[in-house]
Amino acid sequence: MSGSTSIDAIRGLMKLEPGRTFFVTEEGSLIGVIAFSDLVQAALDPASAADLTARDIASPNPLFLVMNENLENALKVLERVPEDDVPVVRDPQTLEVVCLVRHHDVLTVFNQALLDVQTEEHNER
């Protein structure tokens, strides 16, 4: 979502996809993340919340993965975030967001890679 997305639009998205983290971008570059807890914080002061945008409530400097990052590093990053997903950027300089990856997906791929190695080792015997 863009930094200018209204708080009402964010609420609507979070109702459609509860528990999901939303990534805030400006011209395609990552500037922050919005988790449910960020929205709750903003709701504590309803009078000032009406004029807030995604840029205002986003947590800045989020953790991210770089494309082609290895699975071991991806798991380390995902262990450090309280959310279930993390943005993936093309490179760390531009922070151009290309997708998001969920912890479950990385674990699935990691487990499949382990099974493949075990199968190879077993077949070599």
Q: pLDDT tens for residues 70-83?
A: 988 999 999 998 88
Closest to 40 (Cα-Cα) out of 61, 19, 62: 19
Is 119 contained in some domain? yes
Is 100 contained in some domain? yes
> Which residue is it, tokens 């590093």?
73
Q: Say what the pLDDT of residue 50 is.
A: 76
Does residue 9 carry a pLDDT above 80?
yes
Is 87 contained in some domain? yes
Instruction: Give the range of the structural domain holding residue 22, as residue numbers without chain letter.
Output: 7-124
Is 97 contained in some domain? yes
Cα 105 from Cα 27, distance rounded (Å):
27
Is 109 contained in some domain? yes
Is 77 contained in some domain? yes
Does residue 18 carry a pLDDT above 80?
no
Instruction: Quote the number of domains for the chain.
Output: 1
Other Cβ atoms less than 10 A from the Cβ of 31: the count is 19
Q: Which residue has the higher pLDDT, 13 or 76?
A: 76
Tallying the residues shown for the chain, one arrives at 125
What CATH number should be reported for the domain holding residue 82?
3.10.580.10
